[in-house]
A and B are shown apart, each in its own frame.
Chain A
Amino acid sequence: MQAQSASQQAEIVANILQRQRRDPARLVQVLREIDEVLGELTPEVLAMVGEQLKRPFAEVAGVAGFYHFLELEQRARYRIFWSDNIIEQMQGSTELREEMCRLLWIEPGRASEDGLVKVGLTSCIGMGDQGPALLVNGRTVTRMTRARVAAMVELIRGGALVGNWPEEWFAVADNIRRRDILLGRSYKAGAAIAAALARGPAAMLGEIQSARLRGRGGAGFSTAQKWQACRDAPGDVRYVVCNADEGEPGTFKDRVLLSAYADLVFEGMCIAGLCIGARQGLLYLRGEYRYLLEALEANLARRRAAGLLGRDILGAAGYDFDIEIHLGAGAYVCGEESALLESLAGKRGVPRNRPPFPVTHGYLDCPTAVNNAETLAAACLIAENGGVCYAAIGTEMSTGSKLLSVSGDCARPGIYEYPFGVTVAQVLADAGANDTQAVQVSGPSGVCVAPEEFGRRLAFEDLPSAGAFMVFGASRDMFEVARNFAHFFAHESCGFCTPCRVGTALVKNLMDKINAGHGSPADINELFKLQRLMESTAHCGLGHSACNPVADTLKKFRPAYQRRLHSTEFEPAFDLDYALSQARQMTGRDDAGAHLANES
């Protein structure tokens, strides 16, 4: 990323726009690519893009300002984002990041004066099983150590291209620890599509129905019902969207599916297309998984060449289906399906008002089936073996298997595939977790489970989960866990509705206040009050659940909060003595009158 002259910039922008077909709906893709090449999005560049795509400047700037990875302020040749996942904090990421900033002589979150490097934070990048991890100019580096920090700092100082950095830094292991029906089967290209074709769309949908397949994104909506509704919705053009925006901290199963089982996901999309009558599929890949893009594109090209994508798939006349990949740019809320559809259409990722639902008004307002990558992969199994066979596995309300992303205090972090209904205790035992204090099931928006509940089952009827399984050993501080989650939600709130926009910021401030030793029971009551408000008035699921980790830990790990409280009385909102610091500095005073005791 060298600084470019204005004419070079214009040429780069023009080329990218050309490649993106000057499609206003591809605005996020356009901005992401320009940002990747130029390293920043200046007002001039945004104006150029707006003009070419015939979208107002303010709208383009509004979209650019929404996504965390798009740089609007300070260009830096090396942009580093450390993953702010609590699991990686437990692995020492905070100390390593501070060390990196110290060695580079920079402040966290601010580009160096010479525009060389910027070191910041971002929400979990899906590497909890091999952290601490970071992104450098969009590329994932895992297993950071002090030695790697030191070596990286040297390379940055020397101006070495990221592409020339040691290859092993960029290695991402799959860490598959347990395989079951999905990960254990042998894959034969096109077999699932052929099976679905042989059954025909209606019968295939019938198999999904009898499999009682439910969405793997966490909510567990019936896949057959969704596909049927989409198939029945009026309209000529339909879409299949694969949601691979797994942003829930602690989740990384889609990463493994897309690196080792991408064929299953793509064939699942083809099957969905067949069932609902769609000719176009879109895979929304989270920006954090940018490193997977080339391999996935190559896979799609192979499939086209093999007649598994494109026109008349497997020779079936009229069965046309193709897949495009869209990359996100750093926004957890885009995992919510309507926000994802907004983002796909080149807008800010704000969840929509519903109804109408995506099955009737989805991508570009056409009927759209949005499915989790894991759900689509499961559809392949059902196509080949039939729904009854699939429904025999798992529990009554939760058929089939589930991929769990296990991370934290255990000997064997990684991906575990279990039939639904496995107990928390079983997973802990298999992963080699001893002396476990708590498990955060399904990430920050899920449930914090204490030891007396380890007999509970992972299934929609007990503990529903999108897959995250974060293990906290006895020595961990559950307040610090909840505080990390509070910061996460404040960072990821889209800002659309009042309760979530302001509420997540207030919760974060209160948690920081308690952490700084200025908390009181009044602050704990405030947290409960905010949780109730957000749960009942927020616009979408993010806001509804944003305070859950705090409320959960307050109920189950209250002493972790209480031991931090300063007193049983009211405590000021801020550090009073610190609030005199600027005046002390300017007057040079340090007498008794120039200080305030912090007790009231």
Chain B
Amino acid sequence: MSDVFLLDGEQVPFTVGQTVMAAARAAGRYIPHLCWHPEFQPHGSCRLCTVKADGHFAAACTLAARPGMTVDNRTAELDDQRRTLLQMLFVEGNHFCPSCEKSGACKLQATAYELKMMTPHFDHFFPDRAVDASHPDLLLDFNRCILCELCVRASRDADGKNVFAITGRGIKSHLIVNSPSGRLADTAMSLADRAASVCPVGVILAKGRGFVIPIGERRYDRQQIGAAEEQ
């Protein structure tokens, strides 16, 4: 038997223990998100999925659904907050879409389109982050990292390899790989790993495949992320 809660006034069924995010997804309803992925444990770090549940702000990806709960999702207030969070992510890293091979298939970019982000607004941090091209099959461009830790989770939980981790703290937090040399080539990472294809942005890229699908015909070129995600 399943209960229901209200998402923007419409009933969404859920089973006991299901999060608001998972239930909404199962019902084909889109709650903007970046660090959440149905295959992995919820993380709750990007905060894009912040909703208002019975009047209280909470991340939909970690919030257990309760019967009769009223959840606001696509309100002007919440979408404004989401746009600001996206702007924060854009100025924190170096996100130059014109020169990124993930353009059109990037969740950060597609979510920003969906939320009509016209400008990064804040003053850019322009951090200095090196690229790691040491691996024969994979490229790491840390400039685009949004610290969602999907690669950390995928490598640990799906691949059993623990190739990635986060170090540093605060604005200096950053992704590292599992070798004292700091090079991806010296880790157990392989192209077939789940972690190799899970990056929502353009950090982990397979070499030599960047433009197999031309720009303009990619996942989020064809459809807005809200519609594309819920299929």
Docked pose: A66 CA to B172 CA in angstroms? 10
Task: Please state if A47 and B180 are interface contacts (CB–CB under 8 Å).
Answer: yes
B78 to chain A, nearest CB (A): 9
A contact residues around B91 at 8 Å (CB) = 502
Task: Please state if B85 and A498 are interface contacts (CB–CB under 8 Å).
Answer: yes
- The answer, yes or no, to whether A58 is at the interface (CB within 8 Å) is yes
Task: Please state if B176 and A62 are interface contacts (CB–CB under 8 Å).
Answer: yes
B59 to chain A, nearest CB (A): 8
Known: A56-B165, A498-B45, A501-B147. A61 touches B171 (CB 8 A): no
A contact residues around B57 at 8 Å (CB) = 536-537
- The answer, yes or no, to whether B53 is at the interface (CB within 8 Å) is no
**In the complex, chain A residues 36-89 whose Cβ is within 8 Å of any chain B Cβ:** 43-44, 46-47, 56-59, 61-62, 64-66, 68
B contact residues around A56 at 8 Å (CB) = 162, 165, 178
Task: Please state if A495 and B147 are interface contacts (CB–CB under 8 Å).
Answer: yes
- The answer, yes or no, to whether B113 is at the interface (CB within 8 Å) is no
A contact residues around B178 at 8 Å (CB) = 56-59
- The answer, yes or no, to whether B69 is at the interface (CB within 8 Å) is no
Residue of B nearest to A494 (CB): B169
A contact residues around B173 at 8 Å (CB) = 494-496, 501
Task: Please state if B179 and A493 are interface contacts (CB–CB under 8 Å).
Answer: no
Other-chain contact of A495, B48, B81, B123, B172 (Cβ < 8 Å): B172
- The answer, yes or no, to whether A189 is at the interface (CB within 8 Å) is no
B158 to chain A, nearest CB (A): 15
Docked pose: A353 CA to B149 CA in angstroms? 15
Task: Please state if A65 and B169 are interface contacts (CB–CB under 8 Å).
Answer: yes
Task: Please state if B166 and A505 are interface contacts (CB–CB under 8 Å).
Answer: no
A contact residues around B146 at 8 Å (CB) = 498
Task: Please state if A573 and B50 are interface contacts (CB–CB under 8 Å).
Answer: no
A contact residues around B164 at 8 Å (CB) = 58
**In the complex, chain A residues 483-510 whose Cβ is within 8 Å of any chain B Cβ:** 490-499, 501-506, 509
Task: Please state if A529 and B84 are interface contacts (CB–CB under 8 Å).
Answer: yes
- The answer, yes or no, to whether A431 is at the interface (CB within 8 Å) is no
B contact residues around A240 at 8 Å (CB) = none
A526 to chain B, nearest CB (A): 8
A contact residues around B46 at 8 Å (CB) = 497-498
Instruction: Give the total of A residues in contact with B, Cβ under 8 Å.
Output: 43
Residue of A nearest to B64 (CB): A355
Instruction: Give the total of B residues in contact with A, Cβ under 8 Å.
Output: 42
User: Counting chain A CB atoms within 10 Å of each CB, which of B59, B125, B170 scores highest?
Assistant: B170
Docked pose: A574 CA to B125 CA in angstroms? 12
Task: Please state if B47 and A66 are interface contacts (CB–CB under 8 Å).
Answer: no
B54 to chain A, nearest CB (A): 14
Docked pose: A573 CA to B121 CA in angstroms? 11
- The answer, yes or no, to whether A533 is at the interface (CB within 8 Å) is yes
A contact residues around B81 at 8 Å (CB) = 533, 536-537
A contact residues around B167 at 8 Å (CB) = 58, 61-62, 64-66
User: Counting chain B CB atoms within 10 Å of each CB, which of A47, A490, A496 scores highest?
Assistant: A496
B55 to chain A, nearest CB (A): 11
B74 to chain A, nearest CB (A): 16
Docked pose: A365 CA to B84 CA in angstroms? 35
A contact residues around B31 at 8 Å (CB) = none
Question: 1/0 per residue A516-546: CB within 8 Å of B?
Answer: 0000000000000100010011110000000
- The answer, yes or no, to whether A331 is at the interface (CB within 8 Å) is yes
Docked pose: A62 CA to B180 CA in angstroms? 12
**In the complex, chain B residues 70-98 whose Cβ is within 8 Å of any chain A Cβ:** 81, 84-85, 88-89, 91-92
- The answer, yes or no, to whether B42 is at the interface (CB within 8 Å) is yes
- The answer, yes or no, to whether A348 is at the interface (CB within 8 Å) is yes
Task: Please state if A505 and B171 are interface contacts (CB–CB under 8 Å).
Answer: yes
Question: 1/0 per residue A270-307: CB within 8 Å of B?
Answer: 00000000000000000000000000000000000000
B contact residues around A509 at 8 Å (CB) = 123
Other-chain contact of A533, B84, B163, B180 (Cβ < 8 Å): B84
Task: Please state if A58 and B44 are interface contacts (CB–CB under 8 Å).
Answer: no
B contact residues around A536 at 8 Å (CB) = 50, 57, 81
**In the complex, chain B residues 8-47 whose Cβ is within 8 Å of any chain A Cβ:** 42, 44-47
Known: A58-B162, A59-B165, A62-B165. A495 touches B170 (CB 8 A): yes
Docked pose: A395 CA to B91 CA in angstroms? 49
- The answer, yes or no, to whether B214 is at the interface (CB within 8 Å) is no
A355 to chain B, nearest CB (A): 8
Task: Please state if B50 and A58 are interface contacts (CB–CB under 8 Å).
Answer: no
- The answer, yes or no, to whether B62 is at the interface (CB within 8 Å) is yes
Task: Please state if B171 and A493 are interface contacts (CB–CB under 8 Å).
Answer: yes
Task: Please state if A505 and B180 are interface contacts (CB–CB under 8 Å).
Answer: no
B39 to chain A, nearest CB (A): 18
Docked pose: A494 CA to B88 CA in angstroms? 16
Task: Please state if B88 and A66 are interface contacts (CB–CB under 8 Å).
Answer: no
B contact residues around A498 at 8 Å (CB) = 45-48, 85, 88-89, 146-147
Docked pose: A61 CA to B50 CA in angstroms? 31
Other-chain contact of A58, B92, B163, B172 (Cβ < 8 Å): B163
B contact residues around A44 at 8 Å (CB) = 180
Docked pose: A96 CA to B36 CA in angstroms? 48
Task: Please state if A496 and B171 are interface contacts (CB–CB under 8 Å).
Answer: no
Other-chain contact of B168, A495, A539, A574 (Cβ < 8 Å): A495
Task: Please state if B168 and A490 are interface contacts (CB–CB under 8 Å).
Answer: no
B227 to chain A, nearest CB (A): 24
B79 to chain A, nearest CB (A): 12
User: Counting chain A CB atoms within 10 Å of each CB, which of B122, B169, B176 scores highest?
Assistant: B169
B contact residues around A502 at 8 Å (CB) = 88-89, 91-92, 171
Docked pose: A355 CA to B42 CA in angstroms? 13
Task: Please state if A493 and B169 are interface contacts (CB–CB under 8 Å).
Answer: yes
Residue of B nearest to A68 (CB): B169
Other-chain contact of B180, A46, A491, A494 (Cβ < 8 Å): A46
Task: Please state if A497 and B45 are interface contacts (CB–CB under 8 Å).
Answer: yes
Residue of B nearest to A508 (CB): B171
Other-chain contact of B50, A490, A505, A506, A537 (Cβ < 8 Å): A537
Docked pose: A203 CA to B182 CA in angstroms? 57
Question: 1/0 per residue B171-192: CB within 8 Å of A?
Answer: 1110011111110000000000
Q: Which 4 A-B pairs have the closest CB atoms?
A: A65-B167, A495-B173, A58-B165, A502-B88
Task: Please give the residue numbers on chain B whose beta carbons come within 8 Å of chain A beta carbons, in ascending order.
Answer: 42, 44-48, 50, 57, 59, 62, 64, 81, 84-85, 88-89, 91-92, 122-123, 125, 146-147, 162-173, 176-182
Selected A-B contacts with CB under 8 Å, 27 pairs: A43-B180, A43-B182, A56-B162, A58-B162, A58-B165, A59-B162, A61-B176, A64-B167, A65-B167, A65-B168, A331-B169, A494-B169, A495-B147, A495-B169, A496-B147, A497-B44, A497-B45, A498-B48, A498-B85, A498-B147, A499-B85, A501-B147, A501-B171, A502-B88, A506-B88, A536-B81, A539-B44
13 further A-B contacts with Cβ under 8 Å, apart from A61-B165, A498-B88, are A43-B180, A47-B180, A59-B178, A61-B167, A62-B176, A64-B167, A68-B169, A493-B169, A496-B45, A498-B46, A502-B171, A509-B123, A574-B123
